[in-house]
Amino acid sequence: MKKIIIHSIPLLVSFTGLAVFCHTLNPIILRGPEFLQFYFTLTIGFYLSAFCLRFFRENVSKISFYFMIFIFLLGVVKLFRGLSLDRPVGILFSILVAEIIINMIFISTEFKHKIRQ
């Protein structure tokens, strides 16, 4: 339960900012800088909460992986939407590549931790 609360804080902050500044709750319809600001806030907040859990010697749970997958799929959907509308998506693509690398690091450290036990 503690992990759900910790991981939902960045989600709530991002969607609250989305509602206050962009007057919508649908991040897919946002254009360019507004979506990047929302997505960057969401990813940085989530990974900071994940690193905080690691710092306090908590395991990365399935809930953390579900949040990782949700955030990544949101970026992929927006990437495909940007490509279909013929928009520049270079920054989003680089964020997604960095996210893949960080996810692989999390998965490999969790796998090593399970092997040791």
The residue extents of the domains of the chain are: 2-116
Model pLDDT for residues 36-87, shown as the tens digit of each residue: 999 999 999 998 988 888 787 777 778 888 889 999 999 999 999 999 999 9
Q: How confident is the model at residue 113 (pLDDT cuts 50, 70, 90)?
A: confident
* Reported pTM: 0.86
DSSP, residue by residue, the chain: -HHHHHHHHHHHHHHHHHHHHHS-S-GGG--HHHHHHHHHHHHHHHHHHHHHHHHTTPPP-HHHHHHHHHHHHHHHHHHHHHHHTT---HHHHHHHHHHHHHHHHHHHHHHHHHHH-
